[in-house]
Amino acid sequence: MEKDYVMSVAETAKQQLFGMTRTSVLMSWGISGLYATEFKDMPALKLKVNGRLFKGFVVIALNGSDYYEVYLTNDTETRLVSDEVCFDELGELIDRHIERGDNQEEYDKFCNIQLMKLVTG
């Protein structure tokens, strides 16, 4: 696969993800690296994350059907999250799997506890 093509797809995925996702949500993921790469013969953007629910890499790969496939991978597993993701769904999908979870009440409680820790020291 041509390097320029991989770089272009990764840049587009990054712009779409960062453009459609609130900064506070992106910051909650603890992103410490962004990489253009190939994953399962697809051009991809790879993010190193340190979320509440998942720590490792999120891989956003462009498949042959013009959808993104999102994977979570670390030292112990590689898991397909979804293989038909539109660009405007990336942030919500990733956030649900690495940070927020499915229980909004539980996540709000967690956030309030973290805020109190920051405020009170």
Predicted TM-score of the model (pTM): 0.92
Interatomic CA distance for residues 103 and 86, integer angstroms:
23
Backbone angles phi, psi at 56, to 5 degrees: 155, -135
Number of domains present in the structure of the chain: 1
Q: Over the stretch 40-83, which tens digit does the pLDDT of each residue have?
A: 999 999 999 999 999 999 999 999 999 999 999 999 999 999 99
Q: Is the dihedral of CA 25, 31, 35, 41 positive or negative?
A: negative
Interatomic CA distance for residues 33 and 49, integer angstroms:
8
What is the residue range of 54's domain? 3-120
Both tokens of 29, joined, read 């993921």
Per-residue pLDDT, 38: 98
Strand, coil or helix: 23: helix
Q: Over the stretch 28-38, which tens digit does the pLDDT of each residue have?
A: 999 999 999 99
Q: Over the stretch 73-117, which tens digit does the pLDDT of each residue have?
A: 999 999 999 999 999 999 999 999 999 999 999 999 988 988 898
